[in-house]
Amino acid sequence: MSATSTISDASLRNALIASARQGTLTALLATCNEPQLTWLMHHWPLYARPDQLPPEVSGGRSDWTVWLVLGGRGAGKTRTGAEWVRGLALGHQPFAAAPAGRIALVGETAADVRDVMIEGVSGLLAIHPKAERPTWTASRRRLEWPNGAVAQAFSAEDPEQLRGPQFEAAWADELCKWRHAEETWDMLQFGLRLGARPRQVVTTTPRPIPLLKKLMGDPRTVVSRAATRANAYHLAPAFLDAIVGRYAGTRLGRQELDGEIVEERADALWNRGMIEAARAEQAPPLARIVVAVDPPASSGQRADACGLVAAGIDAEGRVFVLEDATLERARPAEWAARAVALYRRHQADALVVEVNQGGEMATAVIREVDATVPVTSVRATRGKYLRAEPVAALYEQGRIHHVGSFPALEDEMADFGPGGLSSGRSPDRLDALVWAVTALALTGRGEPRVRRL
């Protein structure tokens, strides 16, 4: 094996993995000299996931200007940005054909640039072999490589720092936390005027800020995504069990662990805080359980989803949402079978079926699956928004709880305003939720009987 071997990274990786599985890796490494071992330890393409390699290397486009790396906490974003800068500064393939002489490092604060991007465990100083390691001069905010490449550190707290200097490339870390995001980004763009193709990498846990949305909509932007679990090998098992297990599926977890952009409308009936406040670990003994069905008007690829939500009410009048089993683009027999299965699984008291669209067809197809299931037909006499308002009021009063998390349903709730969903699609999951809660808490349904889940 040679440090300058032309063997592909994928082939070398596969050979090392095969050697490890065969128990011969130690013997193989023993045949390497010190330069070869150093090369193996620091050759990033051997260890990186596809989402951690530049777009042109991971099979994406080569004409990009902004590489947007979105990820959860601990997903390896810092290592991705640092390795890209290292590759540029040293002119290493596949990152660059020649060294980049001037690079900007921009973080939320000066301390973040120093402590995370430069001196951090995955920062620039840590990832270099000793012979290539740059020198950090804190007083000058400069990182200088032995080959003459220079990176300058800047804080998003002071956009004016970027007025004047010029660069070939930039690494912007935690963009969504920048205090002056728009101003700092604009100043950075004016400075990217060196080289044949100035480029920049943005590593950030996403938040729904205007700048991030604008970048994502730019045709010159390429987006990579990674959740926290993608980097599980490098994370403490206790962190995965306690933190990931606790927050998975919640708004905070989807943002901070899954790297998703969690949207919220200002005029929505529900806000994310209201939904998070409704979270419950488990349901108490329930007096009545229903499965609400909002059937699609048609079937096929363009059909709406069939909303399916199970919920129950306890003796104190608190409603607990148990499951969102909504089915996308299903034939009538399929969603009817799913509804009956949901009814059986939760030992429900009835199927509540909205019949405006399908009329009696909806109840008929359910009876074809199981004629013994009690079906309650409901018909909408008011618009969706008016029907949803009293249900939202129950959430505000703390009378409705979600047993676990239902990301797709909760996205519809936080996006449902007077004109419906911002996408224009039918809020099928939300409709089923509204029918379930209405049946349980907003209309009389007889004497309750207590059952334990």
pLDDT digits (tens, 9 = 90+) for 96-130: 888 899 999 999 999 999 999 999 999 999 999 98
Indicate the angle between helix axes 360-369 and 332-345, nearest 10 degrees.
60
- As separate numbers, helices (DSSP H) first and strands (DSSP E) second, the chain gives 17, 17
Higher pLDDT, 445 or 109: 109
Query: Residue 430 and residue 166: Cα distance in Å, rounded?
Result: 51
Whether residue 210 contacts residue 243, with contact meaning beta carbons closer than 8 Å, is answered with no
Q: What share of the chain is helix, strand, coil (3-state, %, to 5)?
A: 40, 20, 40
Average pLDDT in the chain: 86
- Quote the radius of gyration of the chain (alpha carbons, Å): 28
pLDDT at position 249, please?
67
- At 189, list the tokens: 């763009």
CB proximity list for 345: less than 8 A, separation 6 or greater: 310
| Of 342, 324, 340, the residue nearest 332 (C-alpha) | 340
| Of 68, 121, 67, the residue nearest 95 (C-alpha) | 67
Residue 226 has pLDDT above 90, yes or no: no
List, in sequence order, every residue forming a beta bridge with 354; answer none if it has no partner: 378
Pairing status of strand 102-107 against strand 150-155: parallel
Query: Residue 100 and residue 171: Cα distance in Å, rounded?
Result: 13
Higher pLDDT, 405 or 89: 89
Check residue 304 and report its DSSP letter: P
3-state secondary structure of 22: helix
Residue 447 has pLDDT above 50, yes or no: no
81: left (phi over 0), alpha (psi -120 to 50) or beta: alpha
Least confident of 101-115, 226-240, 329-343, 398-412: 226-240
| Of 379, 353, 356, the residue nearest 366 (C-alpha) | 353
Cα 65-71-75 angle, rounded to 5 deg? 120
pLDDT at position 252, please?
65
Query: Residue 86 and residue 126: Cα distance in Å, rounded?
Result: 11
pLDDT digits (tens, 9 = 90+) for 265-317: 778 899 888 888 899 989 999 999 999 999 887 655 556 789 999 999 999 99
Query: Residue 422 and residue 414: Cα distance in Å, rounded?
Result: 10
317: left (phi over 0), alpha (psi -120 to 50) or beta: left
Cα–chain center distance at 38: 35
248: left (phi over 0), alpha (psi -120 to 50) or beta: beta
Neighbours of 37 (CB within 10 A): 14
Length of the chain: 453
Which pTM does this prediction carry?
0.62
| Of 346, 332, 354, 334, the residue nearest 436 (C-alpha) | 354
Query: Residue 400 and residue 54: Cα distance in Å, rounded?
Result: 46
Q: Where are the beta strands (DSSP E) in 306-374?
A: 307-313, 319-324, 350-354
Neighbours of 55 (CB within 10 A): 18
* Mean pLDDT, residues 51-62: 79
* Mean pLDDT, residues 174-200: 93
Query: Residue 322 and residue 320: Cα distance in Å, rounded?
Result: 6
| Of 88, 70, 164, the residue nearest 132 (C-alpha) | 88
54: left (phi over 0), alpha (psi -120 to 50) or beta: beta
| Of 198, 217, 80, 100, the residue nearest 149 (C-alpha) | 100
User: Scanning the structure block, which residue is given the tokens 């500064």?
Assistant: 89
| Of 394, 248, 219, the residue nearest 321 (C-alpha) | 394
Whether residue 309 contacts residue 326, with contact meaning beta carbons closer than 8 Å, is answered with yes
Side-chain-facing half-sphere of 73: CA atoms under 13 Å: 14
List, in sequence order, every residue forming a beta bridge with 294; answer none if it has no partner: 307
pLDDT digits (tens, 9 = 90+) for 376-420: 988 888 889 999 999 999 999 999 999 988 888 998 998 899 989
| Of 69, 143, 52, the residue nearest 101 (C-alpha) | 143
Residue type, position 53, single letter: L
Side-chain-facing half-sphere of 416: CA atoms under 13 Å: 25
